[in-house]
């Protein structure tokens, strides 16, 4: 059994220690908002927060998440930054197919949590690991600026 803290709650998962965190979240805990894309830390679909920092959950063994605070898209709106980002996403109708958007939002929230006034360059850098096949990049950047305004 591996003891995790997910979305503010202690949980136990009965999986091998080298199981990727993504599968513990999706298959064991049924937190299916976090998506699988590449499995190789290349696309950002699986990003969650570990102690507030964005990490690709496909490439983190669940044993490395023990004792750390994991936050998934399901709980992102429980803090102010997450709520504001979610509202900006809705207001600007960012989502197209939606597949990449959990990861996009997790990266955006991590950025705005440490930088309330990101420049375009800051945004491009912070979001570089999140790919979107539908190419919603322009709306993502606009929504991050919109959220930054709301947080000011
Ligand atoms: S599925 Fe994890 S980065 Fe692509
Ligand atoms: S919205 Fe379709 S992949 Fe990003």
Q: What is the mean pLDDT of residues 119-148?
A: 98
| Mean pLDDT, residues 37-46 | 98
Please name the residue whose Cα sits nearest to atom 3 of ligand 1: 41
What is the CA(152)–ligand 1 centre distance, in A? 32
Instruction: Say what the pLDDT of residue 9 is.
Output: 97
User: What is the average per-residue pLDDT within 33-38?
Assistant: 98
Q: Is the CB of 137 under 6 A from ligand 2?
A: no
Distance 88 CA to ligand 2 centre (A): 17
How far apart are the C-alpha atoms of 125 and 26, rounded to whole Å? 28
Locate tokens 């504001």: which residue?
A: 84
Cα distance between residue 86 and residue 88, in whole Å: 5
Query: Across the chain, what does the average pLDDT equal?
Result: 97
Q: Which ligand lies nearest the alpha carbon of 131?
A: 2
- Are the beta carbons of 148 and 116 closer than 8 angstroms? yes
Predicted local confidence at residue 152, as pLDDT: 93
Q: What is the structure's pLDDT at 69?
A: 97
* DSSP state string for 21-57: HHHIIIIIS--TTSPPS-SSSSS-TTEEEETTEEEEG
43, 99, 135, 139: which to mutate for ligand 2, most atoms within 8 A of CB?
A: 99
Q: How confident is the model at residue 2 (pLDDT cuts 50, 70, 90)?
A: very high
Q: What's the pLDDT at 5?
A: 98
Q: Give the model confidence (pLDDT) of 65-122 as tens digits.
A: 999 999 999 999 999 999 999 999 999 999 999 999 999 999 999 999 999 999 999 9
| Phi/psi of residue 104, nearest 5 degrees | -60, -45
- Quick one: tokens of 112? 């705005």
Task: Answer whether 132 contacts ligand 2 (Cβ < 6 A).
Answer: yes
Measured from the alpha carbon of residue 45, the closest ligand is 1
- In short, whether 96's Cβ falls inside 6 Å of ligand 2 is yes
* Residue 103 CA to ligand 1 centre (angstroms): 9
Q: Which helix (H) or strand (E) holds 147?
A: helix 137-151
């Amino acid at each position: 059994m591996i003891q995790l803290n997910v979305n503010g709650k202690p949980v136990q998962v009965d999986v091998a220690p080298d199981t990727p965190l993504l599968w513990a979240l999706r298959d064991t805990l049924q937190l299916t908002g976090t998506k699988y894309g590449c499995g190789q830390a290349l696309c950002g679909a699986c990003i969650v927060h570990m102690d507030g920092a964005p990490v690709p959950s496909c490439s983190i063994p669940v044993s490395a998440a023990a004792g750390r605070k994991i936050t998934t898209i399901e709980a992102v709106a429980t803090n102010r930054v997450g709520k504001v980002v979610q509202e900006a996403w809705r207001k600007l109708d960012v989502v197209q197919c939606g597949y990449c958007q959990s990861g996009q939002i997790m990266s955006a929230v991590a950025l705005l949590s440490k930088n309330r006034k990101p420049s375009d360059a800051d945004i491009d850098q912070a979001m570089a690991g999140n790919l979107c096949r539908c190419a919603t990049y322009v709306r993502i950047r606009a929504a991050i600026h919109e959220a930054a305004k709301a947080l000011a």
